[in-house]
Copies of this chain bind each other. A is one copy, B any other.
Amino acid sequence: MGLVLFELRAAGGRAFSPYCWRARMALAHKELTPELRPARFTDIPRIGHGAKSLPVLLDGPIAILDSWDIALYLEERYPQAPSLFGGAAGRQFARFVHHWATTQLHPPIVRIGVADIWERLDAADQPYFRETREQRLGAPLESFRAQQPALLAQLGAALAPMRAMLVERPFLGGDQPSYADYVVFGAFQWSRVICPVPLLAADDAVQQWFERCLDLHGGLGRRAPAGG
């Protein structure tokens, strides 16, 4: 039975969600090609299965509602395909990187790009997005543009442990990427697809790693056009 991935899209089909990119990369790592079903924020209630966010993976009658749970599901369901975690300790690693990315990287990245995201959403999604994000962030979306230099500095400092890792090995996973890489890839691909502000200098080890990730799995990430 075929896999179906519901994926968040902006106007013109831009696939920008960091969590959906985690799922896309995890599926590709497992050598799986899901049927993609684009959806807007305002389409989510119609997906069913209790879905409140994207991605949603359908495997026949089974629905998996969260990118982390999708990774766990794929690892268990497809044990013969390349491992996403490399065992229990690697799963703890990926989970740490998940919490690290969510608490240390996403806050500056979303503020850098949030006004750009709003501009590029389908018109049907714009009121929902502005209302929920202005409530969450506590200020008008456009007000964060003036803070971009400070937010870029905050992001650059937060990336120090990853930069040190990438000086030693090409991926967080070591010689090959693991789900820990896809977690951070999602954050940078989010910005690449929908935000014109470069997050990193070309000679930053994290940018060079991101370029390597864009080339993985037949250039899956690079085929999504850069935004701006």
Interface size for A (C-beta < 8 A) is: 29
* B88 and A88 within 8 A (CB): no
Which A78-125 residues have a C-beta within 8 angstroms of B? 85-90, 92-93, 95-97, 99-100, 102-104
Pick from A45-53, A126-134, A172-180 the stretch touching chain B: A172-180
Interface SS of chain A = helix
Copies of this chain assembled into the complex: 2
Q: A88-B86, A100-B100, A104-B160 are in contact. Are A95 and B173 (CB under 8 A)?
A: no
Residue A60 CB within 8 A of the other chain: no
> 13 more A-B contacts (CB under 8 A) besides A90-B90, A92-B93, A96-B97?
A87-B90, A88-B174, A89-B89, A89-B90, A89-B93, A89-B174, A92-B165, A93-B96, A96-B162, A96-B165, A96-B180, A100-B161, A103-B160
Which residues of A line the B interface, CB within 8 A? Answer: 85-90, 92-93, 95-97, 99-100, 102-104, 158, 160-162, 164-165, 168-169, 172-174, 178, 180
